Every structure is written in C-alpha cells, then in structure tokens.
Amino acid sequence: MNKNLFLIIFIIIALFCGFILGDYFQYKENLTTDIVFFGMGKADSIFIRNNSKTMLIDTGTREKRKKLVNNLKELGVKKIDYLILTHPDKDHIGGAYYIIDNFKVERIIQSKFEKGNKAELRLKESLKNTTLENIIITTSEDYKFDLGNLKITIYPPREDSYTKSNDYSLITHVEDGDLNYIFAGDAEEILLSEILQKKLPPIDIYKVPHHGKWNINSVKIIEKISPKYAIITNNIGDKRVIESLKEIEAKTFYIFDSDLYFRSDGKDLQY
C-alpha cells in the first residue's frame, strides 16, 4: 500500500476514534454528580453540580463568607443556577448576600418565613441590585425542577404558622438516577411529622436536620428513610440521634472545619 495512502487512512481512523471517545467521555462527565458539604462550623452550606448545572443549599455564616466563595471558585464555579435558602437563620443565610455579589445567580428559592435579622436585611439589599428570579414558596405544594439530569423536589412546610421558626425550613429531595438524597435544613418535630407522611425511598445521603439535635421525630425519620450516609453539620450530635444511625448501620460524618466530597454516576457513590 502506498505510504501516503496508509498515513491518510491512519489519520482518518484516529480522528474517528477521537470523536467517539470524546463523545463517550463527555457523556460520562454529564452523568457525574458532585456533592460537597463545606465545613462552615455549626452551619450549613452544600454544593451540588450535575451536567454543568449548579445548586447551592444555604450559605453558612457571614464570618465564613470568604471561605465559601473561595471554595466555590476552586471548584471552577462561575454561575449558580439555584440558590436554595432553607430558612433565614444566620447560620444558613449569613453568606447569601456575598454569594450574590460574587457570582451570577440565576434564581433564588426561599422559605416564606421572614425573621428580620441582619443576615436577612443584607440579603434584601443585595437582591435590590440584581435581576435574578426570587422564588418565595408560599404554598404547601411541592416545588419541582430539573438540575441537569437530577430531579429536585422541595418540600415546603404545610402550615401557615409554627411555634418554632426552624419548622419553616425547606427540605430538598434530590433524585440522582438510582440514588436519593435529602437535605433537611433545621426541621424539627412538626415539619418532620409532615415529611413522615410522604412516600420516600431509602435515602443514600441524609443531611441530618438542625446540626444533629434530637426531637421526638428524629428516630422515626431515620428509621423511615434508612440512610446509607448521614451528615451532621456540627462536631457532635445528640446521643439518641447517633445511636439510631448506628442501629441502621449508617456511616456518619461530622462536618465542622473540613469539607466532604461525594461523587456519583447515578448508581454508585464515592467519597
């Protein structure tokens, strides 16, 4: 065979294989889900990315705002498609204004409850200077959307009024192929009783509500969803909560001053 013709055929085959492999790896990348629990002290901030779409659940305290921004930039984040603020306690929304000032945020989802604290007022000031979509969930209807290949359902509180402000928390359920994750904000007794009425699958990642504190429904929800991994955003958890997690053989992580990374392909989780 003519050497030049052989070379041309070889180049064509190589290019073809390159295109096929490139599409394959792009396909695999699109199926990858990253979940990062940021160590913010006794505070919440969780980042989720799938198919280049991003979601941030809570933003920790104001004091940790620069750490959070730096962590997100190290992950290559330039835009946040959904910023979910579960409820307006300062350890959940303290850095929200700083996130809005430093990233392009497409939309924000908030609980209907207003606390009137400094963190909330700073957030409102930042929102005045943006055109982002501000979604305040005022009904008891589940709020659903897609994040890349993920199916997101937000469970809002059903009642108009609660004794404890933590029961106004938004609870986020993520369906990631065969896997399921629940991020429960600071839900306490009444809100957890509402979630107990829902048909939920076994949960692979459970962000334990209220930094691992106990209430009378803490054990019931753990028994119902039987999480594989439990995340407590604190350096300690209530003994009764910990014992119930041990009984179902959940692997428990305490997130305080270090970050925790998970990655999935919709079937298996790695950390």
The matching CATH number, chosen from 3.60.15.10, 2.60.40.10, 3.55.40.20, 2.40.30.130, for 32-270 is: 3.60.15.10
Pick from 176, 170, 128: nearest CA to 32: 176
Q: How confident is the model at residue 13, as a pLDDT?
A: 54
Q: Got the DSSP string for 104-133?
A: EEEEEEEES-----HHHHHHHHHHHT---E
Lowest mean pLDDT, pick from 8-12, 42-46, 166-170, 261-265: 8-12
Looking at every residue in the chain, the average pLDDT score rounds to 91
Whether residue 68 has pLDDT greater than 60: yes
The residue with tokens 């498609």 is 81
Mean pLDDT is lowest, of 128-132, 162-166, 191-195, 260-264, for 128-132
Amino acid occupying residue 249:
E
Written as six digits, the tokens of 85 are 């603020």
Kindly write down the DSSP assignment for every residue of 215-246, as one continuous string: -TTHHHHHHHH--SEEEESSS---HHHHHHHH
What is the rounded CA–CA span in Å between residue 241 and residue 226? 13
pLDDT in tens, 106-146: 999 999 999 999 999 999 999 998 999 999 999 999 999 99
pLDDT band at 14 (very low <50, low <70, confident <90, very high): very low
CA atoms within 13 Å, Cβ hemisphere of 185: 31
Closest by CA position to 106, among listed 132, 85, 131:
132
Confidence (pLDDT) at 1: 55
Instruction: Give this prediction's pTM.
Output: 0.88
Q: How confident is the model at residue 249 (pLDDT cuts 50, 70, 90)?
A: very high
- Residue 15 in tokens: 């290019």
Separation of alpha carbons 247 and 235, rounded Å: 20
Give the model's pLDDT for residue 244: 98
How much is the pLDDT for 129? 85
